[in-house]
Amino acid sequence: MLDESLTYLRTSDDWVQTVLIGGLLSLLGVLILPAILVAGYLVRVLRGTMHGDDVPPRFDDWGPLAGDGVRAVVIAFVYGVVPGLLVAATAAAGALIAGPGPRSGLLVGGVVLVGGLFALIAGLLAAYVVPAAVANYAERGSLRAGFAVDDLRPVLSSGTYATAWLLAFALLVGAGIVAGALNAVPVLGTLVGAFLSFYAAVAAYYVVGHAWGDVRGLTLHDDEDGGVGAESTTA
């Protein structure tokens, strides 16, 4: 699966164009809209691969692409609220109890340590759930599907998804390490890092898409004639 994920984009005749567009959008992600378009593309990767379609999607039909991206971002944001609140609460508690003297320092350190640990655990749980939640949206075409516990539970508890998530996580971490090393060359590192990050994200979602399809028992025919995998702008 690792080899297939890394060569997935290159199976398309338009792969250079796709990587160029994806890398540029990733580079401009701070402007929000480009990041939404990248998220929409990753939804398309999930939608295709979960049904066994290993032909990489294109950057086209920008309206539906943006719609998919917005919904994916909303899903990720909702799941990220709890970790975010824990971080904010930890920082606020540390600021409130801070004061002169060694005891205050020890107390602040303890609060930060415990709060940070809970925030880390919550963040990892959110990172584990989000790809599956977005995959369920990609399959069903409804934003509500991103929070459908009955759909998500059997996938999240499966060894197939857990293994795929670990591989996807490793791909993203590996790309992040390389991108960080490249930042030693200021401008060039930033540029190459953006393209590398996009390529790794596509490979990661390829792995997740196949795992989702395997656990759910999806086939290519499930995506035909406006089926469950068809693109939708349904809320």
Q: Which of 43-52, 81-90, 187-196, 222-231 has the lowest mean pLDDT?
A: 222-231
For residue 228, being part of any structural domain is answered with no
The percentage of the chain sitting over the pLDDT mark of 90, rounded to a whole number, equals 71
The domain of 202 spans 2-74+137-221
Q: Considering its fold, how many domains does the chain have in total?
A: 1
Collect all residues with Cβ–Cβ distance below 8 Å to 46 and sequence separation of at least 6: 131, 134, 135, 138, 205, 208, 209, 212
pTM confidence score = 0.88
Question: Can you tell me the mean pLDDT for 204-209?
Answer: 98
Helices 102-140 & 62-97, crossing angle to 10 degrees? 160
For residue 27, being part of any structural domain is answered with yes
For residue 158, being part of any structural domain is answered with yes
For residue 201, being part of any structural domain is answered with yes
For residue 116, being part of any structural domain is answered with no
Is-contact 79 123, C-beta < 8 A?
no
DSSP secondary structure, 57-78, as one string? P-S--HHHHHHHHHHHHHHHHH
For residue 91, being part of any structural domain is answered with no
Collect all residues with Cβ–Cβ distance below 8 Å to 214 and sequence separation of at least 6: 160
pLDDT of residue 225: 44
Nearest to 66 by CA among 199, 233, 198: 233
For residue 143, being part of any structural domain is answered with yes
For residue 215, being part of any structural domain is answered with yes
Choose between 12 and 98: higher pLDDT.
12
Question: Can you tell me the mean pLDDT for 26-36?
Answer: 95
Phi-psi region of 115 (alpha: psi -120 to 50; beta: other; left: phi over 0): alpha
Q: Which of 37-41, 46-50, 216-220 has the lowest mean pLDDT?
A: 216-220
pLDDT in tens, 86-125: 889 888 887 777 767 666 777 778 888 888 899 999 999 9
Is-contact 90 119, C-beta < 8 A?
yes
Collect all residues with Cβ–Cβ distance below 8 Å to 163 and sequence separation of at least 6: 211
DSSP-assigned letter for residue 55: S
Helices 102-140 & 186-216, crossing angle to 10 degrees? 60
Mean pLDDT, the chain, rounded, equals 90
